[in-house]
A and B are shown apart, each in its own frame.
Chain A
Amino acid sequence: MVNTANVTTRPEDRFVAEFERFEALHTNGSSEHFPLLRQKALRQFSATGFPPRKSESWKYTNIGSILRRPYSAPDTGTVRASGLDGLGAYVAVFVNGHFDASQSTLDDLPEDITVASFTDQTQAGRVRAHLARYAAFEHEPFTALNTAFVHDGALVHLPAGIALSRPIHVIHAVTASYAALLQPRTLVISEDGAQAQIVQSTEVHTKMPVLINSVTEIRVGARAQLDHLMLQAGTPSTSNVANVSVYQETESKFYNGSFTFGGEVVRNNISILPDAEHCETLMHGLFVARGTSHVDNNTLMDHAKPNCFSSEYYKGILDEHATGVFNGKVLVRQDAQQTNAYQTNRSIVLTNTAHMYSKPALEIYADDVKCSHGATTGQLDKDGLFYLRARGIRADEARRLMLISFAGDIIEKVPAASLHRVLYREVERLLR
Chain B
Amino acid sequence: MTPVLEIKGLKTSVEGMLILKGVDLVVNTGEVHAIMGPNGSGKSTLAAVLAGREEYEVERGTVLYQGANLLEMEVDERARKGVFLAFQYPVELPGVSMMNFLKQAVNALREHRGQDPLSAAGLLRMAKEKAKLIGLDPRLKQRSVNEGFSGGEKKRNEIFQLAMLEPVLAVLDETDSGLDIDALRSVADGVNQLRTTSRAFVIITHYQRLLNYIVPDFVHVMVDGRIVRSGGKELALDLEEKGYDWVRYDAAA
Contact = CB atoms under 8 A, between A and B. Distances in A.
B75 A390 contact: yes
Nearest to B110: A392
Given A392-B109, A392-B165, A395-B74, A401 B91 contact: no
The listed residue with most B CB atoms (<10 A of its CB), out of A389, A392, A409, is A392
A22 interface: no
Contacts of B53: 386
Q: Main SS of chain A's interface residues?
A: helix
Contacts of B80: 392
B104 interface: yes
B108 A402 contact: no
Interface in A408-426: 408-409, 412
A397 B80 CA distance: 14
Given A392-B80, A392-B112, A387 B87 contact: yes
Interface size class, chain B? 20 to 34
Contact of A386 (B75, B96, B108, B109): B75
B90 A389 contact: no
B79 A391 contact: yes
Contacts of B145: 387
A348 to B, nearest CB: 12
B122 interface: no
Interface string A368-408: 00000000000001011011111111110110011011101
Contacts of A383: 91
A371 B253 CA distance: 64
A384 B75 contact: no
B129 interface: no
Nearest to B109: A392
B246 interface: no
Q: How large is the interface on A (under 10, 10 to 19, 20 to 34, 35 or more residues)?
A: 20 to 34
Given A386-B75, A401-B100, A391 B93 contact: no
B105 interface: yes
A402 B93 CA distance: 8
A383 B53 CA distance: 10
Nearest to B161: A391
A392 B95 contact: no
A390 B95 contact: no
B96 A390 contact: no
Interface in B100-134: 100-101, 104-105, 108-109, 112
Contact of B79 (A392, A402, A404, A409): A392
Contact of A393 (B76, B78, B144): B76
A401 B104 CA distance: 9
B161 to A, nearest CB: 7
A390 B85 contact: yes
A406 B76 CA distance: 22
A405 B93 contact: yes
Contacts of A406: 95
Contacts of A393: 76, 79, 104-105, 108
A393 B85 CA distance: 14
Nearest to B104: A393
Contacts of A386: 53, 75, 91
Contacts of B42: none
A401 B96 contact: yes
Given A393-B108, A394-B76, A395-B76, A388 B93 contact: yes
Contact of A402 (B76, B96, B161): B96
B51 interface: yes
A392 B76 contact: yes
A402 B101 CA distance: 10
A391 B101 contact: yes
B94 A409 contact: yes
B52 interface: yes
Contacts of B95: 404-406, 408-409, 412
Which of A390, A397, A405 lies at the interface centre, i.e. has the most chain B CB atoms within 10 A of its CB?
A: A390
B52 A390 contact: yes
29 contacts: A381-B91, A384-B91, A388-B96, A388-B104, A389-B74, A390-B87, A391-B76, A391-B79, A391-B105, A392-B80, A392-B108, A392-B109, A392-B165, A393-B104, A394-B76, A394-B108, A395-B74, A395-B75, A397-B104, A398-B76, A401-B96, A402-B93, A402-B96, A404-B95, A405-B95, A405-B96, A406-B95, A409-B95, A412-B95
Interface of A: 381, 383-384, 386-395, 397-398, 401-402, 404-406, 408-409, 412
Interface of B: 51-53, 74-76, 78-80, 85, 87, 90-91, 93-96, 100-101, 104-105, 108-109, 112, 144-145, 161, 165
Closest 5 CB pairs of A and B: A405-B95, A392-B79, A391-B105, A387-B91, A392-B108
Given A387-B87, A406-B95, 16 more contacts: A381-B91, A384-B91, A388-B96, A389-B74, A389-B75, A390-B87, A391-B76, A391-B101, A391-B105, A392-B79, A392-B105, A401-B96, A401-B100, A402-B93, A408-B95, A412-B95
